[in-house]
Structure 1
């Protein structure tokens, strides 16, 4: 423990400041519990585990995971407070702060403590009662404990308000992106551009009339000969973007590489997938330095770029009437949704002039970039806010959160009182 505690604080241990009531716990098997359904909360290592028909405790207590608790995940609590009638199994330690310590103060301390050296086990960490008793505890005077608890309650409430406000941002960003893409394919995004350039919006055309060539992906999964080549799967894409890493390598011969090699502005269409929201989705491929091919879960299309901007085609296919048509063209069998080249070719696209398509793609990229920048700021702010509780708790238990007052007395006297009480018992 940090020895640089305030003068009126004292170093103690959990055994000094809390009664450990583990001997009163009673585990109940899930089979027996199913026969004893009631309205009494039944608690385990990480919280509520169900309900039962009777109780062991009827008071305010602190529960701390004995095994299976997230001891080293500071984004999660390992201790929690319960009140009223309850039943606790043997996966949670049961603590009650002694008369000169507050349960809430004990709770906050246990949720910021570094359990390294106190928990053991490899696959399932465990905190024995013996090690629990040895955990060091910085004990301030009772009046200061109460001020710290009150200050923490106020600060945590403010953090809760900030978190609540931030929760809206991902949904707002998602809605914004969808609105941008919908406006892109309905012509609203470039209303002013058309007036300025005296252009009309669209000319209906079948997708097949824009296709230069197309091909299903390679079905090969293994070969002992040939050159190790990346064969992309759906797992290599997320929300239409290439995710680097976890690429599948298959040995392909020169002829196969040439046939299935992807090039800049190729369009990959998800030919088969268990999800109706993914099957038939268009993905615009952006070439990187590596040679990449594609598996047979995709169909690859090359469009005539003198007539169509491939990015605009993906916008149209993945949104509004385009997406509706493709979903309705899916066939389902054995839990898999599939679409064929004939159905994809029948997609009717409201195709504006190439100049307007380029303007649409430019504006979409600009607006989505702004959304991405806002999202990065949101993630940074969210991470900072999520780390605030631990920062605040660290300050609290170094005596830096509230002022020490001369009228608080000395915690050494508190500790002596607690020890005398223990001797009397």
Structure 2
């Protein structure tokens, strides 16, 4: 810690530190006093989210004895993710309150500037201290009491202002760099889709539209009985949704099946196109280059003679195919597309296998190029995040020049 700096508990630096109010759905109205919720608190910034705003009326404000939130107050979310994130409330032109899972902090600006705290709350040292003070098994949270005990570095006011000015300028540049990298990443991901669209439109007259059932056999995976011993091993890979890699390859190194386990499973030949058809990762697609088995969350197309399975897999990645999967999965809590609906989904196919393979080679090249670009821009984003944390660490250890 730099000479002249102090470390004090958070509660000692605030004129006010109190939780928001318990406001139930029945207490809310269509207009009036705005209810700021944990979803409005970003990591260092306020998320306005006007379209999701909730309100209470004046009578409810009085009845619940609500605490008003003012522009310039800091709000800290005591719930994930991450716990402890904070923002400064802007002047929205509205009277405001906040929910019980948010803590209102009104700093003594003669001691600690809110902007200094906001930057500190983005640092790994702060987030680690918050995590260590959290309780709860199902959902982690920090109590207001424990929040108030967190140690806060306290340099002189002039030093706080200097640090804020440096971080404001530097983070503005980093934000621009991040926005550019995110835009480039989005463009890279669109490149494959554009290549696929170009091929489909260019060959609109001599390609046929087929359902998956027209061009192969649909196979739904199965899991050998877990109550029976000896089913796991290294005889054949056993693919689950978590084994689908972002570039469409499959992770063959997870726990596989023994010869005994394989005997009670449905074996897929090399060249099969796979898709997760249930759960949060529904629509994730992959392509096998060897014999495998899968669990029951996965449907596979075993292509007929004269059909290139990789060509089918590449079409499964398209936005139009993914949209059809989601639309046929229904709106249940756990989305699922059954075997018959999946088999009825459409793809477009050249009549000739050699043409399928030629287009596949071109699309594979585009896919590999996109994967390379995605890796580059993802690394850039990770580097920017690391740089931000490095600057914050230097700032709050007194090493920021």
Normalising by structure 1, we get a TM-score of: 0.64
Who is 1:397 aligned against?
Answer: 396
Offset from partner CA, 1:401-425 (integer Å, 9 cap, x none): 34xxxxxxxxxxxxxxxxxxxxxxx
Matches within 5 A, 1:104-253: 104-112=115-123, 113-114=125-126, 120-123=133-136, 124-129=140-145, 132=148, 135-140=151-156, 142-185=157-200, 214=217, 216-217=219-220, 222=225, 228=231, 232=239, 237=244, 241-243=249-251
CA distance in 2 between counterparts of 1:312 and 1:398 reads 55
Q: Which runs of 5+ in 1 are unaligned?
A: 189-200, 403-425
Offset from partner CA, 1:200-227 (integer Å, 9 cap, x none): x96869799996x746446676476696
Who is 2:75 aligned against?
Answer: 63
Matches within 5 A, 1:20-419: 20-22=15-17, 27-31=21-25, 33-34=27-28, 38-42=32-36, 47=41, 50-52=54-56, 53=58, 56-58=68-70, 60-65=72-77, 67-68=78-79, 73=82, 78-83=85-90, 85-88=95-98, 91-112=102-123, 113-114=125-126, 120-123=133-136, 124-129=140-145, 132=148, 135-140=151-156, 142-185=157-200, 214=217, 216-217=219-220, 222=225, 228=231, 232=239, 237=244, 241-243=249-251, 256=264, 260-268=266-274, 278=283, 284-287=287-290, 291-292=292-293, 295=296, 298=299, 300-304=301-305, 307-315=306-314, 337-338=337-338, 340=340, 349-352=349-352, 354=354, 356-402=355-401
Distance change >3 Å, CA 185–CA 219, structure 1 → 2: same
Distance change >3 Å, CA 102–CA 250, structure 1 → 2: same
Give 1:299 deviation, angstroms: 5.4
Give 1:390 deviation, angstroms: 2.5
Distance change >3 Å, CA 136–CA 226, structure 1 → 2: closer
**Which structure is larger by alpha-carbon Rg, 1 or 2?**
1
Matched residue pairs, number? 362
Distance change >3 Å, CA 94–CA 33, structure 1 → 2: farther
Distance change >3 Å, CA 363–CA 104, structure 1 → 2: same
Indicate the RMSD between aligned Cα atoms, in angstroms. 5.0
Give 1:309 deviation, angstroms: 3.6
CA distance in 1 between counterparts of 2:84 and 2:254 reads 33
Offset from partner CA, 1:286-339 (integer Å, 9 cap, x none): 216xx52564963542433xx454323544677699x69x98xx899x996556
Q: Which runs of 5+ in 2 are unaligned?
A: 47-52, 62-66
Normalising by structure 2, we get a TM-score of: 0.67
Higher relative contact order (Cα pairs below 8 Å, separated by 6+ residues): 1
Give 1:263 deviation, angstroms: 2.0
Q: Considering fraction of residues, name the structure with more strand.
A: 1
Give 1:129 deviation, angstroms: 3.9
Offset from partner CA, 1:329-385 (integer Å, 9 cap, x none): x899x99655659x769977323462x444333332222111111100111111122
CA contact (8 A) 1:202 1:352 kept: no
CA distance in 1 between counterparts of 2:39 and 2:209 reads 62
CA distance in 2 between counterparts of 1:210 and 1:44 reads 50
| 1:68 aligned counterpart, secondary structure | coil
